[in-house]
Amino acid sequence: MPDTLHQPLRDLFLLRYDELRQRLRQRLGSPQLAEDALHETWLRIETLRDGTVVRHPAAYVFRIALNVAEEQRRKQARVMNLDEVEDLYAMADEMADPAREALGEQEIELFRRALAELPRRRRAIVTAARLEDTPHADIARRHGVSLRTVEKELRAGLEYCCQRLDREYIQRFGPKRKESP
């Protein structure tokens, strides 16, 4: 392979290495990422094909380094480091606590009882909207009622279930709840 392109880019890279490293550190915010990008840039310069035309060699080398850094960031965003994996295991252990599981099962049973205490249509609306994720318009058509009626029944059903579970009802859609004076 003739050295017509490689040698000038290698020479430029070596001559301006410190400047490239400093610019990359500022741009990337990480000395380690800058060093890694420069190492990979050197390797890429070595693999350039003959016939590549470079009009602005300094800008070209810097762009290679930025592209390398971006690729490395993408790869690292997809891969967890050992500390992150250990944190997930610790979190899973905390969540698997038998007492916590028993409490969760009790709350599910209380919710089932509260749901069973609702009038039949209200129970069906709450089940369809919250457990089956059915759009409100479909629920209205299914029960032959208006969309507003579905919203009222859903709110009443959720408020009742929250009251039975000793939880505060938090409205997650529609206009805000009016405060009492």
Residues 6+ apart with CB under 8 A from 34: 21, 24, 25, 28, 69
Q: Which of 179, 180, 134, 178 is nearest to 154 (CA)?
A: 134
Q: Residue 178 has what pLDDT?
A: 46
Query: What Cα–Cα distance (Å) separates residue 118 from each residue in 95, 114, 146, 160?
Result: 31, 7, 20, 8
- Retrieve residue 10's tokens: 């290698």
Q: Is the pTM of this model over 0.85?
A: no
- Retrieve residue 111's tokens: 């919710």
Along the chain (181 residues), what's the average pLDDT of each consecutive run of 10 residues? 65 88 86 87 81 81 88 72 72 65 85 93 92 90 94 93 87 52 48
Residue owning tokens 């479909």: 138
Q: Residue 93 has what pLDDT?
A: 58
Q: Residue 80 has what pLDDT?
A: 65
Q: Name which CATH class applies to 97-164.
A: mainly alpha
Handedness of CA 145, 149, 155, 161 (dihedral sign): negative
Q: Residue 130 has what pLDDT?
A: 86
